[in-house]
Structure 1
Amino acid sequence: MSTAAPERPITVEEDPAAVGFDPARLARVDTHFRRYVDDGRLAGWQAVVARHGKVVHASTHGRRDEEADLPVEADTRWRIYSMTKPITSVGALILFERGELELTDPISRWLPAFAEPRVYVKGSATAPLTMPSPEPVRVWHLLTHTAGLTYGFHHAHPVDELYRSRGFEWGVPEGMDLAACVDAWAQMPLVHTPGTEWNYSHATDVLGRLIEVVSGQSLDAFLRAEILDPLGMTTTGFQADDPSRTAALYALGPGRTRVRADGMGEPFLRPPTWLSGGGGMVSTASDYHRFTQMLARGGELDGVRILGSRTVAYMGRNHLPGGLDLEQVGRPLFAEMPFHGVGFGLGVSVVTDPAAYRTLVSPGEMAWGGAASTAFWVDPAEGITALFLTQLLPSSAHPIRSQMRSLVYQALVD
């Protein structure tokens, strides 16, 4: 972890009424989600809302560790899982801005295992029929999850089963580092031809390995030097800096009861065997809030510029083929958010049609979340950023993301 100055506590910085919120209506965020703790759906949570760069709501409720009776506090550490992906994606865009890679470059230029990808045609996981891919896997395919890679935990396609049979479901085979994982994924068939469909996958993990090869640094060192330290994100990393302040992990068990999941949560408390740019980080509300503010301000925060403003704007455009949404080009699989009216940019989802989304949002909203029900969004149109942090697997367990949006936007009255 970094030896930089201690993190800045997350506190309310602005009267909500001064930036267009009705304070009484904004308080509904807490009223609503307290019920999640009171009835046992969640052990605890933390919520942060900001507008025009100022925090207008910051709250915690419940226990970070229910069995030990430890409360959620302002500096609680959370496993952010796939909220790691936007950080890794920003890392790749830093290299893009420096001319060290092009979005259209075949990744085999740096990762030779991807020189001759093959695409699944039909058959079982034990005897798949494949064909040579008519298109190479390119950098932009990794950033948009259109590379044809997958996750073993999807349980939606024979190639998913193939990943599981090789030890890739919620983890990786013992002893494998990131380079070895990428080589293994490259030897398995693609679910589809790159650039033709969207399939949530290990693409961002491969992107992390690409960053390593292009930069000549390990992924953790590169992200620390280029993003985390410059932004003052001192408690964010691939291992919890203080396990005693880290939230316990829970999962839905039989009958939708909540059970402790220490086995899945423990890897975040020790040095990682592989660096997952797609889901391996631990963070705090104050740290991740700074990351959202950097995006909201067009790549700059407190005089430190991470990306150019045009790059952030480009990141937040829909890059899916034909300008279609996830419902039209996404593979049918579980999701914690609707696919209608949502496209995908470079590392983040992008709202294209709020009416089709059936949720109170703005066009152009950039967002993503994590497997343990965490979520964030950045709304350039309204100047709003929001975070919801908790620790419950899977993220589809409850409609937290849509409810958080409704609760925030119903309080906006300017």
Structure 2
Amino acid sequence: MRLAPVRDLLQRQVDEGLLPGFVAAVRHRGTTEVLCGGTTTAGDVQPMGPDTLFRMSSVTKPVAGALTLALREDGVLGLDDPVGEWLPELAAPRVLRDRTGPLADTVPAERPITVRHLLTSTPGFGGVWDGSPLARAIDERGIGPGPWPPALTPDEYLRRLAEVPLAAQPGEVWLYHLPADVLGVLLARATGRPVAALLAERVTGPLGLTDTAFTAVDPARLATVHATTPDGLVPVDAPDATVPPAFEGLAAGLVSTAPDVLTVLAALADGGAPLLSPASVAALTADALTPAQRAGAADFLEPGVSWGLQTGVCVEQTEPWCTPGRFGWDGGTGTSAWADPAREMVAVLLTGRLMGGPDDGPQEFWRTLYACL
């Protein structure tokens, strides 16, 4: 691989004060290269390295999908099982008659919420940013989307979520983030084991990964999360990643390294072993949305991108890197990880800088990388 243009791009962003540093891991046609630059904290001297730990934020979500399908293969649950079996708080939800209307104006759910609905982010609840009473109720309860897990126990999280009605009937619309956190609570209850133990048994253990967990396995290697301000990059007040969290979140809770994330996606891109069967990988990475659901998510999903089972999936060639069949996702802490089986390429970019919006993502990284192929 000739990745000098990628290194130059990322180093220039560091030199211009746009990033504190970066680690990019790329595997193309069986050859892997890791690029590093900058420092773990802006203005510090500790360099970024292949073993630098990052808060993954939403790059956690594809792992949530893979872990759920692994447990389905184990016979723990079925994708069309009603979640009420394990989550009685969501067994009989009410649904807003008008998504932007009063919280008391509801109707019964027409069908139960299923495991599949959680995986496809269509259970009727999720991130709402329209200023409605529902959006305010979610924010007031501290259960809305964010770059790390909620500061609640799983039981308290479910209790608060059950206090608010659904935005839509189960299975009708795509809404972001919250379904993955609820999925984690379901898996823990269905197995009677912490999510961390399930992750170790079904994902990190089989792959021999030692740096991926819900805490920083070595705090000295943990990169600082920064925000962009008029005064430059400033560290943000992130949760303490050196102690076990109250909530082991499958929406945004993992801490990992670029090589570890690359290993997970590469296993899936290569057919699934030792994590999943090829049939489960196909289910994970297939477009799970109807045209109407995808159209309703157009403000969030980029052009050409749809949604599988807690992972983004490319369905149209709208950009050079948006190859149909490509799958992965981006995270609000400046993380991005995608596999492109058709191009025999898997790549991960970790930066430690909060994204400022939809136009503040890793597009230039992907554009430059694909120009090198």
| TM-score (normalised: structure 1) | 0.84
Structure-2 separation of matches of 1:157 and 1:368: 28
Structure-2 separation of matches of 1:271 and 1:400: 29
**Range with greater deviation from structure 2 (125-134 or 307-316):** 125-134
Q: Which amino acid aligns with 1:160?
A: A
**Given the alignment, which residue of 252, 256, 261 partners 1:279?**
252
Question: Aligned residue for 1:329?
Answer: 296
**1:114 maps onto 2:90 in alignment:** yes
Give the 3-state SS of the residue equivalent to 1:376 in structure 2.
strand
**1:199 maps onto 2:180 in alignment:** no
Conserved 8 A contact 2:99-2:134: no
Conserved 8 A contact 2:99-2:167: no
Give the 3-state SS of the residue equivalent to 2:98 in structure 1.
strand
Q: Deviations over 1:33-81 (max 9, x none)?
A: 11211111111011111123330x3211111112432211121000001
Structure-2 separation of matches of 1:168 and 1:126: 19
**Given the alignment, which residue of 312, 315, 336 partners 1:349?**
312
**1:158 maps onto 2:133 in alignment:** yes
Change over 3 Å in CA distance of 1:173–1:34 after alignment to 2 = closer
Conserved 8 A contact 1:80-1:279: yes
Conserved 8 A contact 2:174-2:293: no
Give the 3-state SS of the residue equivalent to 1:208 in structure 2.
helix
Change over 3 Å in CA distance of 1:344–1:196 after alignment to 2 = same
State percent identity of aligned pairs: 31
Structure-2 separation of matches of 1:388 and 1:155: 31
Q: Structure 2: which 5+ residue stretches go unaligned?
A: none
Give the 3-state SS of the residue equivalent to 1:388 in structure 2.
strand
Change over 3 Å in CA distance of 1:408–1:157 after alignment to 2 = farther
Q: Which amino acid aligns with 1:299?
A: G
For residue 181 of structure 1, report the CA deviation from its aligned partner.
Answer: 0.8
Structure-2 separation of matches of 1:52 and 1:295: 15
Q: Deviations over 1:192-243 (max 9, x none)?
A: 1121111112101111111112222111111111111111111111111111
Question: Aligned residue for 2:303?
Answer: 340
For 1:5-404, what aligned pairs fall within 5 Å after superposition? 16=1, 23=2, 26-55=3-32, 57-122=33-98, 127-151=103-127, 154=129, 157-169=132-144, 170=146, 176-253=152-229, 255=230, 257-261=232-236, 263-264=237-238, 266-300=239-273, 305-322=274-291, 326=294, 328-330=295-297, 332=299, 335=300, 339-354=302-317, 357-394=318-355, 396=357, 399-404=360-365
Conserved 8 A contact 1:86-1:347: yes
Name the Cα RMSD after superposition.
2.2
Give the 3-state SS of the residue equivalent to 1:360 in structure 2.
coil
For residue 401 of structure 1, report the CA deviation from its aligned partner.
Answer: 2.6
Q: Which amino acid aligns with 2:355?
A: P
Q: Structure 1: which 5+ residue stretches go unaligned?
A: 1-15, 17-22
Change over 3 Å in CA distance of 1:342–1:173 after alignment to 2 = closer
For residue 296 of structure 1, report the CA deviation from its aligned partner.
Answer: 1.1
Change over 3 Å in CA distance of 1:390–1:172 after alignment to 2 = closer
Structure-1 separation of matches of 2:91 and 2:369: 47
Structure-2 separation of matches of 1:366 and 1:397: 18
Change over 3 Å in CA distance of 1:134–1:359 after alignment to 2 = farther
Change over 3 Å in CA distance of 1:46–1:297 after alignment to 2 = same
| TM-score (normalised: structure 2) | 0.93
